[in-house]
């Protein structure tokens, strides 16, 4: 691992410093917000989705192989931290528990907190699965686009401005879904020319892209219990058709 990192030390160590700086600043900021404000937890959680966009998009464009490795390392760290939290292992167990419970919702059980695993795997699985799909450069971005941008904008717009609900018992709104679809398509319109400028040769068609975004967004709206890790896979599968 060290040999791989130091084979391109300037790029990869700079990326590590960038990641650590973002994580440190966000942990301090978001945790203080969670304690001192009345912002809904659902919106607090979406800040981490936006953080994933800031962290992973530059890495995926310029250092995709390093990002493959980093996701594996992050998953291992998450597992260790969750063990420390569940068993309250000194000295960080209690602090980790207090921090994590500030962002939990109905999808987390009393024992295990899985939301951060879902976000990480939702972003990582399309990247791990997409090796060799150079003609479909948006496929690795399926998790980042659907969770980091689409899901985040759908939640924010739906929470603040949503009026028309998809069902009488659900919280998902038509306005939120429309915002999610629009934001992902807007992000793709920026991302595709950027990827083309870096040398990608691709055959991505807007019809298949619109279909992928629409289907995954509607499934997310109608299936409230569908986990974060599955929506990107649905998006990914349509992008690869």
pLDDT at residue 56, rounded to an integer: 95
- CA distances, 143 to each of 10, 86, 91, 125 (Å): 27, 28, 34, 8
Angle at 121 between CA 44 and CA 23, to 5 degrees: 45
Q: What CA–CA distances, in Å, run from 75 to 86, 138, 179?
A: 16, 23, 30
Closest CA to 12 of 81, 68, 80: 68
Q: How far is CA 122 from CA 143, 202, 225, in A?
A: 5, 23, 15
Residue 141 is classified by DSSP as G
pLDDT digits (tens, 9 = 90+) for 4-27: 888 888 999 999 999 999 999 988
At residue 201, the 3 state secondary structure works out as: coil
For residue range 58-104, list pLDDT tens digits in order: 999 889 999 999 999 999 999 999 999 999 998 889 988 888 877 77
Q: Which two tokens stand for residue 44?
A: 């607090």
Residue found by looking up tokens 């399926």 in the block: 142
Q: Which residue did the predictor score with more confidence, 53 or 231?
A: 53
The Cα angle at residue 98 between residues 92 and 104, in degrees rounded to 5: 125
pTM, to two decimals: 0.87
Question: Are 235 and 122 spatial neighbours (Cβ–Cβ below 8 Å)?
Answer: no
Pick the closest to residue 173 from 160, 184, 182 (CA basis).
160
Residues 187-207 have pLDDT tens digits of: 999 988 888 777 665 666 788
Interhelix angle for 9-36 vs 41-62, to 10°?
170
Q: What is the pLDDT of residues 104-144, one digit of tens each?
A: 766 666 688 888 898 899 999 999 988 655 667 888 999 99
Contact status, residue 49 vs residue 148, Cβ threshold 8 Å: yes
Q: What are φ and ψ of residue 173, in 5° steps?
A: -115, 155
Q: Which pair of structure tokens corresponds to residue 155?
A: 């939640």
Q: Which residue, among 220, 229, 200, has the nearest Cα to 124 in the 3D structure?
A: 229
Residue 147 corresponds to which tokens in the numbers above? 């969770």
């Amino acid at each position: 691992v060290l040999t791989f990192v130091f084979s391109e030390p300037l790029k990869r160590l700079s990326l590590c410093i960038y990641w650590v700086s973002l994580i440190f600043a966000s942990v301090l900021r978001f945790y203080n917000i969670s304690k001192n404000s009345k912002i809904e937890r659902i919106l607090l959680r979406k800040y981490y989705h936006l953080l994933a966009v800031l962290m992973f998009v530059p890495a995926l464009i310029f250092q995709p192989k390093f990002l493959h490795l980093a996701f594996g390392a992050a998953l291992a760290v998450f597992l260790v931290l969750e063990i420390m939290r569940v068993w309250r292992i000194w000295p960080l167990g209690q602090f980790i528990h207090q921090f994590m419970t500030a962002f939990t919702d109905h999808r987390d059980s009393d024992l295990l907190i899985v939301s951060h695993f879902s976000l990480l795997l939702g972003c990582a699985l399309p990247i791990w699965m997409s090796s060799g799909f150079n003609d479909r450069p948006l496929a690795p971005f399926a998790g980042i686009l659907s969770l980091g941008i689409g899901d985040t904008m759908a939640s924010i717009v739906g929470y603040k401005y949503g009026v028309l609900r998809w069902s009488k018992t659900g919280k998902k709104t038509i306005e939120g879904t429309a915002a999610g679809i629009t934001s992902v398509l807007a992000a793709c319109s920026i991302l595709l020319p950027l990827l083309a400028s870096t040398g990608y040769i691709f055959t991505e068609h807007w019809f298949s892209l619109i279909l992928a975004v629409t289907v995954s967004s509607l499934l997310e709206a109608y299936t409230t219990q569908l986990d974060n890790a599955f929506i990107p896979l649905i998006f990914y599968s349509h992008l690869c058709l």
